[in-house]
Structure 1
Amino acid sequence: MRKSTRTLLAAALVVGVAAGPALTPAFAAEPPLAVSQSSQQRSPDLSAVIAGLPRADATAALVRVGGTEGSWQGSAGVHDLETSAPADPAARFRAGSVTKVFTAATVLQLAAEGRIDLDRPARAYLPDLIPGRYARVTVRQLLNHTHGIPAADLPGETVEEWYENRFVVHTPEELVRSATARPREFRPGTKQHYLNIGYTIAGLIVERVTGDSYEHQVERRILRPLGLRDTYFPGADPEIAGPYNHGYQTMRLDDGTTGLRDVSVWGTTDGWAAGDLVSTTADLERFTRVLFKGGVVRGPLLEEMFTIPKVPDLTSGDPAAYSAGLSMKRLGGREVWGKTGGRWGYNTAIASTRDGARTLVYSVNSTDAKGQQMNRTALGLMVAAYGLPD
């Protein structure tokens, strides 16, 4: 793939997945594994993207393409590097910021019921947590990242330091207090800055207006009605319940060398309503299909998920890229809407054309997750499914 193409698409999709250093020669020399697949419509391009795993950028990949244009399923790579057993295509994985789509949908359902007003200040719901300097931030601005609230302070600045703090438990209230104690980044509604904090606050608003936990509200409103039996919130448990393919991250090891560390067991309380969901490709495919058909958020409020504010991005100055829960990019001549997510060792995405003609769900066990560039395998899957950016 041409370098310019990779850079263009990675920047356009705003995906935090960067290339890491090369792996040890012994690992790089592992023979490619067979790709398992079942389909109604063969897709050699998709097969080629995941053939040969594990390799330097990823140890496994699970992929599902669906919609009216045909379907394809594939898996490749290994369950773990110790046994080299084939990757489990039904495995659970950390979905990262794909969680935001579930949170946005839950807030929009409550808005449809008249229990949340998108134009009402967040402080009206959480007066004990949101200080006066953020009195004008609305619920809608929380969802589309135009609120101007900075990120919470979290321990560590490098992946190695974050790994050392992987079992620290954070409460959402603690995260909100940390963020709102700092000066605002910009006047609400004037710019967009993609951060987790808006969705942490949104999760707390869900709890305040329902008198119930955020997790139970998502379960009652989305997981249970859609039959998403393998999707759950781990809470303070750092392990993935049930079958999963191990995630690995390139980092500095104890002996001072750079290599892969198993990061499958890692707490996610820093993400909560913004990024702690565990799921499967089958569950996320069903969720995506029903969401885009209007079966999760019904009526005019669904348009909130397909409306991008007309403001510049805080960092790049480019037009805003995010709506309430989703983002959009033109690929292969079509609008493709979706959301990516990254936790250490795992990258996930859901995507669809607006009419549902083609959906894509993948989980890539990336060795370079949460970096500044898009993972090579994840990028290849997006291009193979939809085409190059316009």
Structure 2
Amino acid sequence: MANLGSQKSRVEEALQATLQESVDAGVPGIVAAISSSKGLLWSSSAGYADIEDSKSANTVHVFGIGSITKVFVAVVILQLIEEKKLTLTTKLGDLLKPEILDGIANAADATIDRLLSHTSGVESWEDDPTWRVEGRGRDLDPARIWGKTDTLKYIRRPNPSGPKPGEWDYSNTGYTLLGLVIEKLTGNTAESEIRVRILHPLGMRSTYFEGFEEPGEGPVTSRYHWATETFIKEAGICPIFTRPKGDLINASASNLSVEWAAGGIVSSASDLLKFIISLRDRRLVSASSLDVMRTWQLVEGGTEQGHGIFRWPSPKGYGTWIGHHGGVLGFTASLWWKEEGDVAVCLLSNVGTMHCGQVPSSSGAVFSKSDFLKLATELSEGQT
């Protein structure tokens, strides 16, 4: 037993070191947690929730989770399919009013299947240069609460060189539209449907849509973004934002309402692990629906896209993982379960990398480039 205890201690110290290395590289703060079907195995933090006031990050803090939000949306859509309120072949034009889709190339004919798998040919508003400036950059109004369809105006135009139906092209717009589908079919807001169908049953009390719901349990960290030359060129810096360090801007005056169903959830590591384990174990969708989510197509660098989730083989040989990354103004996030074995991981950091090019580190870098996944697997195997 002593040997098992010392082995666990060694693994936990090594896990902590991966977090500290990220902070040493410049990440303000990071929280990580590891879980299995037995529950939470380990959680810890490093760095600061607020670097100006030297407030330490800890595991009760909540962070923006970016595109991990899309997994929640996909789950509700698949639940609605199970309830026979639509099918994978249903077209948007049969669900949403023409004025919502007007001028958006390929939107009316986009099927639910293609929206979920980013093959609809509908351009992402995130790729529009004007949106980058107004949604995250120098012309951002940080206090603005965006309407749910406000982002669609950026892509209401012909785009002959844009994505084609059937071809993979990652699209935030697709999930904005899926959020509107949820609202059309249920008569409720998408965020309330996610709350009733997922958050309440799983006891996820720290999770909410920023700008559309009251905050949950746990304080949100300050939010920072890498002020790289690429970010300054592509988005610019909102004049209200401060620069506590030469390579960071403080974007805490902003909110995530612009992201909504594509990336607007705030949550904690422990909440997110409840969600991903429940999804893996078919407690949120049926076995056949999970099979739909895990219908893979190769997209880039060995990564495969499913319906709302990705499948990623670790280039370091640490197994194959299923889940999603997230990145928005001020935050990065990773939430994945291992295809082999019984382990899931979550990493959250209060620094954004979108439109930044190369950055010193982030939660995604800890996930993909360090030994975190190897150590997480060792920890889980030591619990059996």
Q: TM-score with structure 2 length normalisation?
A: 0.79
Rate the CA distance shift 1:140–1:162 in 2: closer, same or farther, 3 A.
farther
Counterpart for residue 33 of structure 2: 64
Other structure's SS at 1:79 match: strand
Distance change in 2, residues 1:45/1:162 (3 Å): farther
Task: Give the letter for the 1:149 counterpart.
Answer: V
Q: 1:13 aligns to what?
A: none
Q: Give the alignment's Cα RMSD to 1 decimal.
A: 3.2
**Paired position in structure 2 for 1:36:** none
Task: Give the corresponding residue for 1:203.
Answer: 179
Secondary structure of 2:371's counterpart equals helix
Q: Partner of 2:350 in structure 1?
A: 365
Partner residue in 2 for 1:380: 366
Which of 252, 255, 259 is 1:271 aligned to?
A: 259
Partners of 1:236 and 1:269 within 8 A in 2? yes
Structure number having the greater helix percentage: 2
What is the letter of the counterpart of residue 89 of structure 2? D
Question: 1:258 deviation in Å?
Answer: 4.1
Contact 1:60 1:79 in 2 (8 A): yes
Structure 1 CA distance, aligned partners of 2:149 and 2:64? 23
Select between 164-173 and 340-349 the one with higher mean Cα deviation.
164-173
* Matched residue SS, 1:43: helix
Q: What's the counterpart of residue 188 of structure 2?
A: 212
Percent of counterpart pairs with the same letter?
Answer: 25
Q: State the Cα distance separating 1:237 from its structure 2 match.
A: 8.1
- Structure 1 window deviating more from structure 2 (346-355 vs 212-221): it is 346-355
Pick closer, same or farther for the CA change 1:155–1:274 going to 2, 3 Å: closer
Instruction: Determine the C-alpha separation between the residues in 1 that align with 2:171 and 2:69.
Output: 13
Partner of 1:15: none
Could you tell me which runs of 5 or more consecutive residues in structure 1 were left unpaired when the two chains were aligned: 1-38
Structure 2 match to 1:188: 165
How big is the shift at 1:79?
A: 2.6
| Whole-angstrom distance in 2 between the partners of 1:367 and 1:322 | 23
8 Å Cα contact 2:208-2:215 kept in structure 1: no
Amino acid paired to 1:349: S
Q: Are 2:120 and 1:137 equivalent residues in the alignment?
A: no
1:346–1:178 CA distance, 2 compared to 1 (3 A): closer
| TM-score relative to the length of structure 1 | 0.78
Secondary structure (helix, strand or coil) at the match of 1:297 reads coil
Which segments of 5 or more consecutive residues in structure 2 lack a partner in the other structure? 1-7, 376-384
Distance 2:276 2:335 in 1: 7
Note the C-alpha offset of 1:180. Answer: 4.4
Inter-CA distance 284–374: structure 2 relative to 1 (3 Å threshold): farther
2:110 partner amino acid: V
CA contact (8 A) 2:50 2:221 kept: yes
The answer on 1:244 being equivalent to 2:220 is yes
Read off the aligned partner of 2:94 and give its amino acid letter: A
Is the Cα contact below 8 Å between 1:64 and 1:361 reproduced in 2?
yes
Shift of 1:238: 11
Q: Which amino acid aligns with 1:207?
A: E
1:103, 1:273 within 8 Å by CA — same for their partners in 2? yes
Identify the residue that residue 119 of structure 2 maps to in structure 1.
Answer: 146
Distance 2:276 2:61 in 1: 18
Length, aligned pairs only: 344
Aligned to 1:85: 55
Q: 2: CA distance between counterparts of 1:156 and 1:301?
A: 35
- The aligned residue for residue 3 of structure 2 is none
Q: Distance in 2 between matches of 1:289 and 1:264?
A: 31
Q: Rate the CA distance shift 1:300–1:92 in 2: closer, same or farther, 3 A.
A: same
Per-residue Cα deviation, 1:279-331 (whole angstroms, up to 9, x for no partner): 00010011111110011112301112211236xx5xx7x67732111111112
Residue number among 174, 192, 211 corresponding to 2:150 in the alignment? 174
Between stretches 334-343 and 229-238, larger displacement belongs to 229-238
